[in-house]
Structure 1
Amino acid sequence: MEADLAVTSTPEPRIPVSTSRLQFNRAFTFADAVRIVPYLHALGVTDCYASSYLKAVPGSLHGYDIVDPTALNPEVGTEEDYREFVRTLKQHGMGQILDVVPNHMGIGQSCNAWWQDVLENGPSSRYSTFFDIDWRPAKHELEDKVLLPILGDQYGTVLENQEITLVYEEGEFSVRYYEHRLPVAPKSSVKILSLRLDELIAQAGAGDPYVEELQSIITALSHLPLRGERAGPRVVERYREKTIIKKRLAGVTRESPEVRKFLEENVRVFNGTKGDSGSFDLLDQLLDDQAYRLAYWRVASEEINYRRFFDINELAAIRMEDSAVFRESHQLVLRLLKEGSVTGLRIDHVDGLYDPGHYLQYLQSWASGEFLARPAGSAERPLYIIVEKILGKGEALPEDWPVHGTTGYDFLSLVNNLLVDRSNERAFNEIYTRFIRRRLSYEEVAYETKKLIMRVSMSSELNVLGYQLERLSERDRRSRDFTLNSLTHAIREIIACFPVYRTYVTESQEGVTDRDRTYIRLAVAKAKRRNPALSSLVFDFVRDLLLKQTDERFNQDRQEQLQFVMKFQQTTSPVTAKGIEDTAYYSYNRLISLNEVGSEPTQFGVSVTTFHERMRDRQAHWPHSMSATSTHDTKRSEDVRARINVLSEMPRAWKARLAYWSKVNRKHKADMEGQLAPDANEEYLLYQTLIGAWPLGPLNDTEYQAFCQRILAYMTKAVKEAKIHTSWVNPHQGYESAVADFIQAILDRTKPTPFLEDFLPFQDTIAHYGLINSLSQVLLKIASPGIPDFYQGTELWDFSLVDPDNRRPVDYTLRTRQLADLQRACADAGADRRSLARGLLETRTDGRIKLYLTASALDFRRAHATLFSEGDYVPLECGGSKREHLCAFTRIYRDQAIVAVVPRLVVGLVPNAKSLPIGPEVWGDTWVTVPSWKRQSEYRNLLTGETHLSTAVEESQALNLAQVFGELPVALLERIT
């Protein structure tokens, strides 16, 4: 296997120049991708960044619920369709980065053969160690079983309502529950086959060959190895014999009408009679014999005994730390790498893995054909790999990870904050506090929401850790008096106080890194302060285990200690993700553009100096990390955030509008037992959402209703995610309906609406400034260190909200036509593109200005790839009256230089919302220094074709921004001389 999978050569990794993320599913197939590759190439994109397209649960729109990692998803296309897609990429000189999902698999709809095998054979399944299942849980009744929380009601109710039924097909018995088909363990089939056997013998005769065959089958089933037997030879025997037996049973039922009728009647008897409780005893006993236990879905949070992706029961975690799991699950991916169809990998949810660093090193070693031949800790990176890693405030990627960077949320947060006015933070705090009539601390919200998740969604994970910790504490006289409750409470509090998603302590003999030690000590110290009533000794005990600081008396239990540490680390990440991204981000709404994946809502803007420092560090350490501004997981699109950021510049106007809107809309609220719906916090979120997502231009009735439906769907999701008045687990239909009624009332344009009459002019003002922010954001992404990534369709204006809103089909026909038109216009304009640029700016609401900027900058970047990948990043000094409204830098490589200049905080630049930040009236005496190798340098604006001569400013050369920004409010300037 190793020889078959190993890559035979170790070429230099293909580093993308730019990427475009494509979401593959039944609505966007390989054939669809083939059609748009020429467009992406014309846009300037060098690499396709593909969502997972391995075989997933039928109907999957995201591909993260893989059921067979060894096959392509048939809904996306055939092998030949895929080959044509790859051929088309290669014809255009493009690479492909594939999204790999190593943490979990989909187990819904009974279409995962590995999982079905586990359900049939239990611990003796050849896949029993593939999934992260606790076969010896604290609850004795679940020993050697998997809890399946798939029922819509209590087990007994569902059973006696005949919703669970036994069926027989071609030699196999199975249990059906709606879309679920669950296998029946072969040995337990004896109960079905033996029922009423004497009646069959009496009817057909003892010497009937088919009856004798059935009796032989029953005997063979009775002698099958038990499902708890894990010894290799016995497992092999079990598989061999059960396969033969199933074929024999299929044969006898096919050939003997009497046996077939006998089985059909037995199945009917097992399925019971509605209204007769005792008639379901047989089926109940049969189900009790299985390697799974059916349960009400609400049981999952407390008793589920397999690790999941977050709290999603249909996504079961796999044990990628097992080399057999790696080989089996990566067969296809490594084959695609070997043949050059895939040139890089994106690793999904890397924090869910047992040992992320080891996995990444293992993967790189496989890719290089040297299977673990490198010394541990080697940082060689023969394959381009990026990881989906959410970095906390001040956190950096572990330096020993053999990767090229992250998927870009760190860049997204930084560039987004650059467009927020830091000086108005205090004003926004007061506005938010006054509107919702209470003072919210984000730190407190995050702490409480993480505890909420541990209580209602992931208490089973906490229980497992608690029992592990109790077993360890019992083995030392100094800790044996710590109770299970106190230990579990300490774990819960430490996780709630954890400052990052997780640490990366390993099972090796090496100590804990300074980075991880700092985070663990900080979390424990905070937990102690919050819990003065709990003995500090309990916290110290947990801390010492996490830091691997136990004395020699614990050496005999070292492996169990390490297992606790590793499992603890796998728990902090999902708790943080669910508690922060999927709860706190919907509960704390001060400025929702800051509530983004990878961002810190308490970070209200950054200075230009900070931006430059972070970019220089990025170029030095992670020059090939992705630079994202929108992804399939962002809470709102880049253009929505760009609009909402404008509010940070105009707190007085925002405060006044809020007061008026709240007053005129109050009559549309409903009183839900003393609580108005929506509450003030939700109302505050709604107004920001409408400002950010409102479409450009007039809408006909159909378009307007579609928009309103999007807002309704978003707000329903938002109030559920906040988990304050309703939730996914405990929905409050009345409250959700009241929120929907409020939205429909205030957006009803069929009659005079004071809200809309006041809102629309204000929103139009925000939208005007927001488009300028968006242009700045695009140019910063393309010119800064890192690999600019474009989420599908965002090269035009995109005002999408969180999924599924951001996964709507993209109109590539429109984009292809518009890009072709722009290319023709550029050819007609020749070197002087001022008139073209001016026209695009005047008609900016159609989105072509964003497309033009994207294509122009990407084309230059592709033609000068080394300048951007290896060139120095040098901040440029700005001077003059408007210098605070600028961000400028240069990229320099040998004798090449490019200068990027963008405006920021635009509201204070122009006299009114009809004005644009261009020309001498706005920029006056403002200038930017530029690199110069002689007394005067000439620069060409790649967006307008204009050339500009530098002039001396003190000891430097500078360009006059009144001229540079004469036609467009952003500039990309190439040094000519």
Structure 2
Amino acid sequence: MPLRATYRLQFHRDFGFAAAAEIVPYLADLGVSHVYASPILLARAGSAHGYDIVDHNRLNPELGSEAEFEAFGAALRQYGLGLILDFVPNHMGVGADNPFWRDVLEWGESSDYAGWFDIDWQPDTPGLAGKVLVAVLGEQYGAALAGGHLALGYDPARGGFDVTAYDSHVLPVHPALYGEVLGRRHRVLERLGDAFAHLAAFRPHEKDRARDLKERLRGEVEGSDAVRRALDEALARFHGTPGDQASWARLDRLIAQQRWRIAFFRVAADDINYRRFFNVNELTGLRMEQPAVFDHAHGFVFQLIADGVLDGLRIDHIDGLYDPKAYCLRVRAKSPRPITLHVEKILGPHEALREDWLADGTTGYETTNLLTGLLTDPKGEAALTQFYRRFTGDRRPFARIAREAKLTCIDNEFASELSALASAAARIAQSNPLSADFTRHGLRRALREIIASFRVYRTYIDEEGATTADREEILRAVAEARIANGDIDASVYDFLASLLTTDIVDEPGSGYSRQEVVVFAMRFQQVTGPVMAKGVEDTAFYRYMRFIAANEVGGEPGRLGVAASAFHEANRRRQKDAPLTLLTTSTHDTKRGEDLRARLAVLASMPPAYVAAVERWTERLSQAFADRETTPDPADLLLLFQTLIGLWPQDGDGGDAETLRERVRAAMEKSVREAKLNTGWAAPNATYEAALMEVVDALFADAGFTEDLSAFVADLAPAGAANSLTQAVLKLTIPGAPDIYQGAESWDFSLVDPDNRRPVDFARRREALSQATASRDRALTAEDVLSGFAKTAAVQRLLGLRRDRPALFAAPYEALATEDDSLVAFMRGERTERLIVVAHRFPGGAPPQGTVALPEGRYHDVLRRRDIAAPAGGLPIGEILTALPVAVLVAGAGAKA
């Protein structure tokens, strides 16, 4: 089925396959071609998002039965819709519910799955050789042990032993050590223990032998009360008295011999020895470059593709993979039939998706920021900057804040990854007399500066070496690192530049191992992406509050506004290079919903009113909290005020005032913890957070403030709603495949995750769509724009147009000239078959003037349901944009949608 438009659904245990099947008729009426499903494979119990997969070859039973999934697929086919799956190849959730990871913890390097995960079995950290660090304790290991928070237990289902932390984290005991548990006080248990102690004699079949012995143990325990009592007594010897460290010595000795080391969660930053998803200890990286791992992970989805159930894959976190290009090509080669292939990839300002990946496009973050930027008046940037600097006292440009945030994250969250890279670089350096004097410490310092200097998430060096684009990015980062820290010897930077580009082994006889150099460069690439994500998206974006609508995934908060010429060029390039790229304005990752951002964009057209309002509100707070010792940081206040402006009053799905207050409290708590300045996730500052929450509560309870806020938003809301409509129309008409995030065909005033995964009121949306269907032939009005009805109606009409006249949306893209830079206009098609879109970019500013150079002819206005004639020379803008901020004009037969 051709891809026209997608509708993203977030599956979880409260919205499963049966619920999805119920809304399929609604989605068909809306006009999308495909459902775009969040991960549906077996994830950790209770997962709210599905990205912590523990088995790629099973459906998640929390979402429904196989029969319910089949019924969902049947409903899609009945209504002519396809299915695209968000697939997670980069990582898996860890824990007892992941049988592969559990086997690794049980058997260590001899596990059949040890090669599935990116584990460094010989790290530099003392005491970690041959072990996996499991950093899950909420306190120091010794304190957890002495406090009785670690316990040895028996699992009757498998006849095995585990160490449990806090009754939740379950770590298997190595079977060769069962003898130490079973002891010598009971004949049956002693004999079994002796057999377990001699498993090595059965190598390489010791696992089969252990499985048989476990079954025998299980049978003996189930079949004899005396054996059961003896086992309980054996286990009791490993239990101590809480508070008495010495009483836990036996358990301590047993733990010390395992293939894992349990530790305080803060130890992970320095000592973790497996690749994670970003800095999340509970998500371990997969070696998807290994054919056996790839085949296992894709077996089920390839079967769904072969069966006609799946039509496409959205590849999560493509930048985490060792070799993204090879992965994409392997998917293409092994897929049982042609599919669409989209990759979740954040592109830098001057970066393009690699053509040789053979992907259909990205998941659309660049479009999110393109459209927000287009609707943001750059003329307001100077005033907003001046006010931000005066209000916060922070004059640093965003680029400097971002670099400092990346360095903070490297030091505090990715120290182990940096140390591993430094050790590898030192080993390579010491293999050749020319570089033997480069020390691990010096290389570590330089690598830290280089990683923090990257402006893209990563490069894509592979066995073939560096492309021109890769080499340019690396050399630019090295040059910036030299400037940032010139105290490091220049020769260290030179060495690392040649190492990271692999130029050091380009010529024969280099004296270095090409294999070691290429592996180092490719491993390095898997580190820069997480640092960029955590340092910029999840730290700097919560520190720089000049204009939060620009603080979005893949965005550039340091620059406000997108010129019409840049908008047109991006659209032309997308149509040429990746015409099926997804176009999104809201996702499960966006920090603010599309309509909240659209409203905030208006602030750039009215800085004086915004500044005056913030000063009034700040003065009100200053009077109320004059005697408080701890008050919120000015930047956090700006975040709060902008959030309230964008959100107020609650939309139809937002709940009552109390619900709205709780949503704001949760979003503010997450934001200030992510900023890592006044508080944080690892060590929350209860005093600061309480002060911030007190301010939130006080504002909601202050009738004078809420009246003032309501009046300010009432002046702002019409322009914000106009922006929302324009944004939706542009997304549905520019080159690419529009994606609608669940519920966002109506208002989307969501806050940061998990707020953007709140339940969607589909009954309300069905009613709105029914009204839109009944009103299909009437003109949309300014009142419809303000109520949100125009957005729903426009989405339905334009999706219908895409369905009925697909050639229009495959036609060439051409920018149309306007006399006012607050306007943007373009045409799709040629001769008598044309689609023309004209939009006012800044409805919060002055009315647009002049004419738009429309090709001469007659057109049907899809939103106003009228026919208009354009003479030679175009039409005055006042005749095009009546009542609405945007127009969609169609020429040719069957123009109505």
TM-score calculated relative to the size of structure 2: 0.96
Q: Quick check: 1:86 aligned with 2:73? A: yes
Match of 1:217 among 192, 195, 200: 192
Question: Which is further off, 510-519 or 816-825?
Answer: 816-825
Q: Quick check: 1:851 aligned with 2:792? A: yes
1:732-811 alignment to 2 at 5 Å? Answer: 732-749=685-702, 752-753=703-704, 755-811=705-761
**Aligned match of 2:233:** 265
Match of 1:423 among 379, 398, 403: 379
Residues 571 and 279 (structure 1), Cα distance of their counterparts in 2 relative to 1, 3 Å cut: same
Q: Quick check: 1:359 aligned with 2:348? A: no
**Aligned match of 1:861:** 802
Residues 970 and 174 (structure 1), Cα distance of their counterparts in 2 relative to 1, 3 Å cut: same
1:218, distance to aligned residue in structure 2 (A): 2.6
**Aligned match of 1:179:** 168
CA contact (8 A) 1:447 1:496 kept: yes
Residues 669 and 623 (structure 1), Cα distance of their counterparts in 2 relative to 1, 3 Å cut: farther
**Aligned match of 1:229:** none
Equivalent residue of 2:120, what SS? coil
**Aligned match of 1:498:** 454
Match of 1:903 among 840, 857, 866: 840
CA distance, structure 2, for counterparts of residue 969 and residue 310 of structure 1: 42
Amino acid at match of 1:151: L
Amino acid at match of 1:494: I
CA contact (8 A) 1:99 1:348 kept: yes
Equivalent residue of 1:906, what SS? coil
Q: Deviations over 1:801-836 (max 9, x none)?
A: 11011110000011112211221233xx5xxx23xx
**Aligned match of 1:928:** 852
**Aligned match of 1:581:** 537
Residues 635 and 475 (structure 1), Cα distance of their counterparts in 2 relative to 1, 3 Å cut: same
CA contact (8 A) 1:469 1:564 kept: yes
1:702-717 alignment to 2 at 5 Å? Answer: 703-717=656-670
**Aligned match of 1:938:** 858
1:36, distance to aligned residue in structure 2 (A): 0.6
1:556, distance to aligned residue in structure 2 (A): 5.0
**Aligned match of 1:731:** 684
Structure 1 unmatched ranges of 5 or more: 1-13, 201-210, 227-232, 370-381, 911-922
Match of 2:609 among 625, 630, 653: 653
CA distance, structure 2, for counterparts of residue 810 and residue 410 of structure 1: 25
Q: Quick check: 1:456 aligned with 2:444? A: no
Match of 1:31 among 18, 27, 30: 18
CA contact (8 A) 1:694 1:799 kept: no
1:774, distance to aligned residue in structure 2 (A): 0.7
Q: Deviations over 1:290-312 (max 9, x none)?
A: 11011011101100111110111
Match of 1:286 among 246, 254, 267: 254
**Aligned match of 1:436:** 392
**Aligned match of 2:570:** 614
CA distance, structure 1, for counterparts of residue 456 and residue 683 of structure 2: 29
**Aligned match of 1:919:** none
Residues 162 and 471 (structure 1), Cα distance of their counterparts in 2 relative to 1, 3 Å cut: same
CA distance, structure 1, for counterparts of residue 223 and residue 77 of structure 2: 55
Q: Deviations over 1:169-190 (max 9, x none)?
A: 3321111222122211111001
CA contact (8 A) 1:167 1:174 kept: yes
1:412, distance to aligned residue in structure 2 (A): 1.2
Equivalent residue of 2:199, what SS? coil
1:960, distance to aligned residue in structure 2 (A): 4.1
**Aligned match of 1:7:** none
Equivalent residue of 1:270, what SS? coil
1:408, distance to aligned residue in structure 2 (A): 0.4
Match of 1:313 among 264, 270, 281: 281
Equivalent residue of 1:884, what SS? coil
1:569, distance to aligned residue in structure 2 (A): 0.3
Match of 1:76 among 42, 53, 63: 63
Equivalent residue of 1:677, what SS? coil
Q: Quick check: 1:45 aligned with 2:29? A: no
CA contact (8 A) 1:97 1:343 kept: yes
CA contact (8 A) 1:695 1:799 kept: no
CA contact (8 A) 1:636 1:800 kept: yes
CA distance, structure 2, for counterparts of residue 174 and residue 42 of structure 1: 53
**Aligned match of 1:886:** 823
Q: Quick check: 1:118 aligned with 2:104? A: yes
1:134-283 alignment to 2 at 5 Å? Answer: 134-170=120-156, 171-177=159-165, 178-194=167-183, 197=184, 199-200=185-186, 211=187, 213-225=188-200, 234-235=203-204, 237-283=205-251
CA contact (8 A) 1:779 1:902 kept: no
Amino acid at match of 1:560: E
**Aligned match of 1:950:** 870
Match of 1:687 among 641, 648, 655: 641
Q: Quick check: 1:61 aligned with 2:48? A: yes
1:344, distance to aligned residue in structure 2 (A): 0.5
Amino acid at match of 2:818: C
Residues 695 and 182 (structure 1), Cα distance of their counterparts in 2 relative to 1, 3 Å cut: same
1:797, distance to aligned residue in structure 2 (A): 1.1
Aligned length: 888
**Aligned match of 1:105:** 92
Q: Deviations over 1:316-373 (max 9, x none)?
A: 111101111001111111111111101001000000000000000011100157xxxx
CA distance, structure 2, for counterparts of residue 698 and residue 120 of structure 1: 51
**Aligned match of 1:17:** 4
Equivalent residue of 2:116, what SS? coil
Residues 526 and 930 (structure 1), Cα distance of their counterparts in 2 relative to 1, 3 Å cut: same
Residues 318 and 44 (structure 1), Cα distance of their counterparts in 2 relative to 1, 3 Å cut: same
Amino acid at match of 1:221: F
CA distance, structure 2, for counterparts of residue 563 and residue 699 of structure 1: 50
Residues 782 and 249 (structure 1), Cα distance of their counterparts in 2 relative to 1, 3 Å cut: same
CA contact (8 A) 1:626 1:786 kept: yes
CA contact (8 A) 2:443 2:492 kept: yes
CA distance, structure 1, for counterparts of residue 73 and residue 833 of structure 2: 34
1:155, distance to aligned residue in structure 2 (A): 1.0
1:665, distance to aligned residue in structure 2 (A): 1.3
CA contact (8 A) 1:23 1:792 kept: yes
CA contact (8 A) 1:107 1:115 kept: yes
Percentage of matched positions with identical amino acids: 42
Amino acid at match of 1:725: N
Match of 1:96 among 74, 83, 99: 83
CA contact (8 A) 1:107 1:316 kept: yes
CA distance, structure 2, for counterparts of residue 683 and residue 255 of structure 1: 66
CA contact (8 A) 2:35 2:82 kept: yes
Match of 2:290 among 322, 330, 334: 322
Question: Which is further off, 650-659 or 593-602?
Answer: 650-659
CA contact (8 A) 2:289 2:322 kept: yes
1:966, distance to aligned residue in structure 2 (A): 2.9
1:697, distance to aligned residue in structure 2 (A): 7.3
**Aligned match of 1:917:** none
CA distance, structure 1, for counterparts of residue 748 and residue 649 of structure 2: 9
Structure 2 unmatched ranges of 5 or more: none
Superposition CA RMSD, Å: 1.9
1:258, distance to aligned residue in structure 2 (A): 2.2
**Aligned match of 1:6:** none
Residues 533 and 45 (structure 1), Cα distance of their counterparts in 2 relative to 1, 3 Å cut: same
Equivalent residue of 2:7, what SS? strand
1:278, distance to aligned residue in structure 2 (A): 2.5
CA distance, structure 1, for counterparts of residue 528 and residue 845 of structure 2: 43
CA contact (8 A) 1:697 1:845 kept: no
1:758, distance to aligned residue in structure 2 (A): 2.7
Please identify the structure whose Cα radius of gyration is greater.
1
Residues 283 and 672 (structure 1), Cα distance of their counterparts in 2 relative to 1, 3 Å cut: farther
1:507-586 alignment to 2 at 5 Å? Answer: 508=463, 510-551=464-505, 552=508, 554-586=510-542
CA contact (8 A) 1:121 1:185 kept: yes
1:416, distance to aligned residue in structure 2 (A): 1.0
